[in-house]
Structure 1
Amino acid sequence: MTSEKLDRRKKYTRMVLKDSLMQLLKEKPLSSITIKEICEMADINRSTFYAHYPDQYALLTQIEDELIEDLKHYLNTANLHEEDEAIDMTVSLLDYFSSKHEECLTLLNEGADSTFQQKVTNVAESFMIKNWMDIYDFDQDTSKYISTFIISGGIQVIKMWMAKGMVQSPKEMARLINDLINKGVEGVR
């Protein structure tokens, strides 16, 4: 068999395994999901699963890490020094969350055995401290408190937006989030 066919097969197998795990995560926590269930849903045998992943936790980690790499890409292309650029970057992030709606909502679910929210928080925090907090010249502890407050609130707003069916446009939500961050509750009135 050619290398190209093997690569396509490998990609396909990993895709169906990821899709199967994501479907099962909508129904129950990872700790209750077996390899057998994943394989049955993916219509592959267990040995094929084990050729790609040691367990369901490694599969979930790969799914999370791929989403996190995408988030890093979005964040690294943004410049938060200007409000319009911050809004554009937030719109891009919301567009990304919208395009990966099911995966992100499933992984951000309170009942999930996922570390995805913590990974998102860590990426956003390091990005924020590196690119935003230095503008205001806060000490490290103050920067950490502020970034934790902003990021936690932002993640909760995004989760609520996705759970409610993303009725508002990404632009509307970006403006709301940025107004809350930059102007507080008074700026949203």
Structure 2
Amino acid sequence: MEDKKIDRRVAKTRMHMIQTTLELLRKNSFSKISVSDICEEAMISRSTFYTHFEDKFALLDACMQQIGQELLHDIESADPRSRHNAMITAIEADARLFRNIFINGKTEELQTIFFNHCHKDLLAIIEMQTNAGHQFPDPPEAMAAFYAGGISSMLNWWITNNFPVSAQEIINCQNHLMTALFPDEL
């Protein structure tokens, strides 16, 4: 019974550290945040920090996983055709956090999250189109990968360039580019 309490405390401390780091990332770029800053803000000792994470980069990886889970949770209830729009809106709503992460060049994990999400949704849309009688000239997985790569790269460009256009302009651009693939869906 005692082990479960320890596991919950460990999980709670770890989650507190992640949430604290996310709050710090809303204020500063990752490169400007030190382990001492995290410890001070989370009100933990350095030894507690290093009990949970090897270094601040390992903590950032945990933060990226948390962001990915939150993004997916926010958009999973949406119809596959509108999930991309929901993702763009969610990113814009927390623009400073995303910008401060992407400034540091730590984009691989979020890029993968963006790509996988888009790929899954595009496959669902292709399946709906196929079930409705539309025939595609290319393998669905390849088409979904092509468009998902474009969408995830566009999101990367948008964030790393400090949101030079509005979320609605990105949504319109994305929908326009995809009308060739899904003329009746978007």
TM-score after normalising by structure 1: 0.65
- 2:19 is the counterpart of 1:15: yes
Q: Which residue of 2 aligns with 1:132?
A: 125
CA distance in 1, matches of 2:19, 2:75: 25
Percent identity of equivalent pairs = 16
Bigger Cα displacement from structure 2, 50-59 vs 91-100: 50-59
- In structure 2, the partner of 1:161 is 158
Per-residue deviation, residues 105-159 of structure 1 (Å, max 9, x unmatched): 3444683374221232123323332x212134479x8222211211111122222
Structure 1 residues 114 and 125, CA gap change in structure 2 (3 angstroms): same
Please state how far the C-alpha of 1:18 moved relative to its aligned partner.
4.4
SS of the residue corresponding to residue 70 of structure 1 reads helix
Residue 60 in structure 1 maps to residue 60 in structure 2: yes
CA contact (8 A) 1:105 1:162 kept: yes
Tell me whether 112-121 or 148-157 shows the greater mean CA deviation: 112-121
When the two chains are superposed, the root-mean-square deviation of aligned CA atoms in Å is 3.5
The 1:128–1:108 alpha-carbon spacing in structure 2 relative to 1, beyond 3 Å, is: farther
Residues 159, 73 of structure 1: CA spacing in aligned structure 2 closer, same or farther, 3 A cutoff?
Answer: same
Is 1:170 aligned to residue 174 of structure 2? no
The question of whether the paired residues in 2 share the 8 Å contact of 1:108 and 1:114 is answered with no
Count matched residues: 162
Is structure 2 residue 45 aligned with structure 1 residue 45? yes
**What is the deviation of 1:104?**
2.6
Q: Is contact 1:107–1:116 with CA below 8 Å preserved after alignment?
A: no
Aligned residue number for residue 119 of structure 1:
113
User: Which of 87, 91, 108 matches 1:93?
Assistant: 87
Displacement of 1:183 in angstroms is: 3.1
Paired AA for residue 50 in structure 2: Y
Cα deviation for residue 102 of structure 1 reads 3.2
How far residue 48 of structure 1 moved from its aligned partner, in angstroms, is 1.9
Post-superposition CA distance 1:19-70 (Å, at most 9, x none) = 557845346xxxxxxxxx7322223532120243344344223211111112
Distance 2:111 2:84 in 1: 17
Q: Residues 13, 136 of structure 1: CA spacing in aligned structure 2 closer, same or farther, 3 A cutoff?
A: closer
Contact 2:99 2:162 in 1 (8 A): no
CA distance change for structure 1 residues 109 and 182 in 2, over 3 Å: closer, same or farther?
farther
- Structure 2 gaps of 5+ residues are 182-186
